[in-house]
């Protein structure tokens, strides 16, 4: 293992995740700190809620790209001979998690960021694209039906874990090969991820149960 290259790219993954997209978009184009409005989070969900669907879509796309690009740094490590092929998944997860941590605790924004859902999406898109494709459909259907980003995010996270589990339990002849993880670690990580998404959205769950969770403006003027 080439430790200097590995450490440099791990730090780069965190710094990439730390780019405060929602904060910069809010300040540059609307003259406000997104953290002082709505839920107080500097993420895509609050951007949709406060600034509307166009700024929210831009922030979400960039935050997804952050997670994907950071996770792909593990492939750079592999191509540079810094890690072995059997270590790729471990460093993909490490780079992706560091990007998510950077999004939640960004060094460029006083360590006050968002919840990391879009960055997690980009991370898993780089690792398990077929499974994530189905989860995106789950997210969009739930969002269109209920217009709660929090509910859609949690549903997609649970779908990721369950889809992998079903693929593992069913025989090969069922056509679920594309969703079956090559490494059991990814299966375990999927359930950890689902649990973390539910935990980080516990306040949203309370608001959903009380009936006062904010909806996103899918077809509004913003």
Residue 221 pLDDT greater than 70, yes or no: no
Asked whether 15 and 22 are in contact (CB, 8 A), the reply is no
Residue 41: what pLDDT?
86
Least confident of 13-17, 91-95, 149-153: 149-153
Q: What is the mean pLDDT of residues 198-217?
A: 87
Residue 218: what pLDDT?
64
Residue 173 pLDDT greater than 90, yes or no: no
Q: What CA–CA distance (Å, rounded) separates 29 from 116? A: 22
Residue 39: what pLDDT?
80
Same domain for 176 and 205, yes or no, is: yes
Domain count, the chain: 2
Same domain for 121 and 206, yes or no, is: no
Enclosing domain of residue 177: 129-211
Residue 128 pLDDT greater than 60, yes or no: yes
pTM of the model: 0.87
Same domain for 102 and 151, yes or no, is: no
Which residues have C-beta within 8 Å of that of residue 202, sequence separation ≥ 6? none
Same domain for 138 and 186, yes or no, is: yes
């Amino acid at each position: 293992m080439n430790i200097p290259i590995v450490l440099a790219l791990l730090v780069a993954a965190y710094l990439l995740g730390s780019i405060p997209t929602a904060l910069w978009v809010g300040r540059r184009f609307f003259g406000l700190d997104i953290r002082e409005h709505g839920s107080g989070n500097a993420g895509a969900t609050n951007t949709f809620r406060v600034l509307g669907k166009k700024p929210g879509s831009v922030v979400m796309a960039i935050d997804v790209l952050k997670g994907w690009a950071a996770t792909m740094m593990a492939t750079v490590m592999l191509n540079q001979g810094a890690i072995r092929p059997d270590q790729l998944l471990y460093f993909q997860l490490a780079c992706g998690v560091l990007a998510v941590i950077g999004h939640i605790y960004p060094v460029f924004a006083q360590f006050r960021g968002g919840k990391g859902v879009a960055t997690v999406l980009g991370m898993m898109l780089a690792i398990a694209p077929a499974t994530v494709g189905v989860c995106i459909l789950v997210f969009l259907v739930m969002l269109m039906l209920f217009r709660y980003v929090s509910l859609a995010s949690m549903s997609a996270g649970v779908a990721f874990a369950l889809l992998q589990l079903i693929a593992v339990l069913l025989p090969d002849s069922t056509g679920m090969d594309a969703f079956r993880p090559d490494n059991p670690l990814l299966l375990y990580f999927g359930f950890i991820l689902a649990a973390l998404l539910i935990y980080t959205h516990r306040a949203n769950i309370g608001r959903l149960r009380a009936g006062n969770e904010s909806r996103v403006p899918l077809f509004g003027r913003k």
